[in-house]
Structure 1
Amino acid sequence: MWSAMEKRISRRKFAKEPITDQEKEKIIALIDEFNAASGLAMTFLADGSHAFQKLSKSYGLFTNVRSLIVMKGKKELQDLKEKLGYYGEELVLAITDLGLGTCWVGGTFDKDELMADDGEELVCVVLVGRVAAPSLTEKMVRSATHRKVKAMAERIISDQPLPQWVENGMKAVLLAPSAKNSQKTLFKYENNRLNAQIADDYAMDLVDLGIAKKHFEIEAGGKFEFGNGGVFHLS
């Protein structure tokens, strides 16, 4: 998945041409697989454009929004937001491999237009669609919102030199998206034990934690425990 991590950027302008039925089927199959594994209730919408039609919500930053994935789950599901980030990012990378564009969107849409069942929490959405070369607007938005990527040393605390598997995982973390490009997930490697945590003072922080954990796992080989401060277990 390294190539997908490198290719993935947040896309805000989509082609008018909808995704194909074959692509839709692959995405829905992946959603079903991840929902079964996690207890989440992610849903594919072939046309969720109505949630982005109010400029007061989208600020005109999105063009030709059509297909999207509603990121939701039961309110009582433990680590709901983190699991949405973790499984959602694996889904995003698989969609990137299909040659489609994506964008995590936390707040600039009308949640009231995307119904969630009673007892469910709708946390965010992932836009999906066909894309061309980045537009001038996308480049300007990306320049404004994607400031300098933090150095690895700013993302991990360690009491010893990092082993290769930790460095591999951290290189993948540096490619992970985060809300407002905050890059807040912090890793600690102390006494030969690695964990990941985040301040959790913003609505999307735990989603970002799940995304960062997924990126680390892909390159390091192993599994994180869920939860803020969850420990990593090397394969």
Structure 2
Amino acid sequence: MRSAIENRVSRRKFEKEPITGSKKENIISLIDQLNEASGLTMAFMEDGSNAFGKLRKSYGLFTNVRSLILMKGRKDDRDLKEKIGYYGEDLVLSITDLDLGTCWVGGTFDKEELPVEDGEELACVIVTGKAAAPSLTEKMVRSATHRKVKSMEERIMSDQPLPQWVENGMKAVLLAPSAKNTQKVMFKYENNTLSAQIADDYSMDLIDLGIAKKHFEIGAGGKFEFGNGGIFHLG
């Protein structure tokens, strides 16, 4: 299993220095590659601190936010949010391998401070930078949001014993981040067919679906179809 899955932890406190040099170049290069593959318009923003500068929006949950990745794409892309989760988590894991901290952020920032073109939708951002020692606030947030991880049995419905490849994929899913740690994405393995779906009653749900699908693929190999209820193809 990809080591970054086990090493990744959401971070909300960062050192003041910006991302520079080869690490910055690697992130921008990867964003370009993923945009090419996905049709998204994700963008690295060297200084997006203004979006987190007002306490009323960020609630003081973040410290020294500077670099952001704008998670956006065309409004008319029917799979926009799921793609943002799927390709964005690929980006998060690669940034983790660069020894930098990250955090998916859905709403606690000022969207008005961030550049979005006509025809685009900004679904969320990923904050990134050199992680600092966690503050008391960050520890409290982590304690409040990181409740018990749901068991594999709570995340997948099956009409038969799970084959090893499904178990491998689900082990990676259990380590996937989700909005408010709700772990809502459900998998179904019936008639030798695996699918993934989510209730889609919260703004970040389809992003969480994309993240969970990416984790399953890393654990099991193979490829998911996009779409709520999308089917997985092994090999």
TM-score (normalizing by structure 2): 0.98
Per-residue Cα deviation, 1:178-212 (whole angstroms, up to 9, x for no partner): 00101000000000000000000000000000000
Displacement of 1:134 in angstroms is: 2.7
Structure 2: 5+ residue stretches without partners: none
Corresponding residue for residue 40 of structure 2: 40
Structure 1: 5+ residue stretches without partners: none
The code of the aligned residue for 2:83 comes to K
Distance of 2:134 and 2:12 partners within structure 1: 9
Distance of 2:37 and 2:163 partners within structure 1: 31
Output aligned runs, 1:223-234, within 5 Å.
223-234=223-234
Displacement of 1:21 in angstroms is: 2.1
Displacement of 1:138 in angstroms is: 1.5
Q: Percent identity?
A: 78
Corresponding residue for residue 150 of structure 1: 150
Cα RMSD, aligned residues only: 0.8
Displacement of 1:135 in angstroms is: 2.9
TM-score (normalizing by structure 1): 0.98
1:136 aligns with 2:132: no
The code of the aligned residue for 2:112 comes to D
Per-residue Cα deviation, 1:108-165 (whole angstroms, up to 9, x for no partner): 0001111210110000000010013333322211000111111110000000000000
The code of the aligned residue for 1:61 comes to L
Corresponding residue for residue 21 of structure 2: 21
Corresponding residue for residue 102 of structure 1: 102
Distance of 1:134 and 1:8 partners within structure 2: 14
Distance of 1:127 and 1:69 partners within structure 2: 6
The code of the aligned residue for 1:68 comes to L
* 3-state DSSP of counterpart to 1:188: strand
The code of the aligned residue for 2:138 comes to E
Query: 8 Å contact 2:13–2:133 — kept in the other structure?
Result: no
Displacement of 1:61 in angstroms is: 0.5
Displacement of 1:3 in angstroms is: 1.3
* 3-state DSSP of counterpart to 2:104: strand
The code of the aligned residue for 1:131 comes to A
Corresponding residue for residue 161 of structure 2: 161
